[in-house]
Chain A
Amino acid sequence: MPTDANASTTKRLERRDVTHVARLARLALSDAEADKALDELNAIFEMIAVMAAVDTSDVLPMSHAIEMSARLRDDVVTEPDQRDAHMALAPATAAGLYLVPRIIE
Chain B
Amino acid sequence: METAPNWEIVIGLEAHVQLDTRSKIFSGAATRYGAAPNSQACGVDIALPGVLPVLNRKAVECAIRFGLAVDARIAPVSVFARKNYFYPDLPKGYQISQYEAPVVVGGTVAIVVAEAEKSIRLVRAHLEEDAGKSVHEDLDALLPDRGSHALSGIDLNRAGTPLLEIVSEPDLASAAEAVAYAKALHSLVRWIGICDGNMQEGSFRVDANVSVRRAGTTTLGTRCEIKNLNSFRFLERAIRCEAARQIAIIEEGGHIVQETRLFDPGQDETRAMRSKEDAHDYRYFPDPDLLPLTIADDWIAAVARALPELPHAMQGRFQSDYGLSAYDAKVLTSSPDIARYFESTVAACGEPAASFAKPCANWIMGELSARLNRADSEAGEGFEVFPIRPAQLSRLVQRIQDGTLSSKLAKMVFDALWSGEADDVDLLIEQRGLRQVQGSDALAPLVDQVIAANAKSVAEYRAGKDKALNALVGQVMKATQGKADPQQVGALLRQRLEGD
A contact set with B: CB distance below 8 Å: 20-21, 23-26, 63-66, 68-79, 81-83, 86-87, 92, 94-105
B39 in complex: contacting residue of A64, A65, A81, A101, CB < 8 Å: A81
The reply to whether B41 and A77 contact each other, CB–CB distance below 8 Å, is no
B273 at the binding interface (Cβ < 8 Å) = yes
The reply to whether A103 and B79 contact each other, CB–CB distance below 8 Å, is no
Give residues of chain B (260-279) contacting chain A, Cβ–Cβ below 8 Å.
262, 273-275, 278
Q: How far is the CA of A64 from the CA of B48 in the complex (A)?
A: 23
CB distance from A50 to the nearest CB of B (A): 21
The reply to whether A63 and B29 contact each other, CB–CB distance below 8 Å, is no
The reply to whether A100 and B294 contact each other, CB–CB distance below 8 Å, is no
Q: How far is the CA of A79 from the CA of B41 in the complex (A)?
A: 8
Instruction: Identify the closest chain B residue to A21 (Cβ).
Output: B283
CB distance from A94 to the nearest CB of B (A): 6
A98 in complex: contacting residue of B43, B79, B156, B275, CB < 8 Å: B156
Q: What secondary structure prevails in chain B residues at the interface with A?
A: loop
The reply to whether A101 and B151 contact each other, CB–CB distance below 8 Å, is yes
The reply to whether A73 and B36 contact each other, CB–CB distance below 8 Å, is no
CB distance from B227 to the nearest CB of A (A): 10
Which 5 interchain pairs have the tightest Cβ spacing? A78-B28, A97-B153, A75-B58, A79-B42, A72-B57
Q: How far is the CA of A82 from the CA of B43 in the complex (A)?
A: 9
- Given A79-B42, A95-B143, A69 and B154 touching (CB < 8 A)? no
Q: How many residues of B contact A (CB 8 A)?
A: 60
CB distance from A56 to the nearest CB of B (A): 16
Chain B residues with CB under 8 Å of A75's CB are: 21-23, 56-59
Q: How far is the CA of A65 from the CA of B290 in the complex (A)?
A: 11
B344 at the binding interface (Cβ < 8 Å) = no
CB distance from B175 to the nearest CB of A (A): 24
B40 at the binding interface (Cβ < 8 Å) = yes
Q: Mark B69-94, 1 if CB is under 8 A from A, else 0.
A: 00000000001100010111000000
The reply to whether B21 and A103 contact each other, CB–CB distance below 8 Å, is no
- Given A75-B22, A94-B146, A102 and B57 touching (CB < 8 A)? no
A103 in complex: contacting residue of B29, B152, B294, CB < 8 Å: B152
The reply to whether B278 and A96 contact each other, CB–CB distance below 8 Å, is no
The reply to whether B294 and A69 contact each other, CB–CB distance below 8 Å, is yes
At the interface with chain A, which of B134-142, B206-214, B315-323?
B134-142
B286 at the binding interface (Cβ < 8 Å) = yes
The reply to whether B274 and A97 contact each other, CB–CB distance below 8 Å, is no
Instruction: Identify the closest chain B residue to A68 (Cβ).
Output: B291
The reply to whether B88 and A70 contact each other, CB–CB distance below 8 Å, is no
The reply to whether B37 and A72 contact each other, CB–CB distance below 8 Å, is no
The reply to whether A99 and B151 contact each other, CB–CB distance below 8 Å, is yes
Q: How far is the CA of A98 from the CA of B291 in the complex (A)?
A: 32
Instruction: Identify the closest chain B residue to A66 (Cβ).
Output: B291
B256 at the binding interface (Cβ < 8 Å) = no
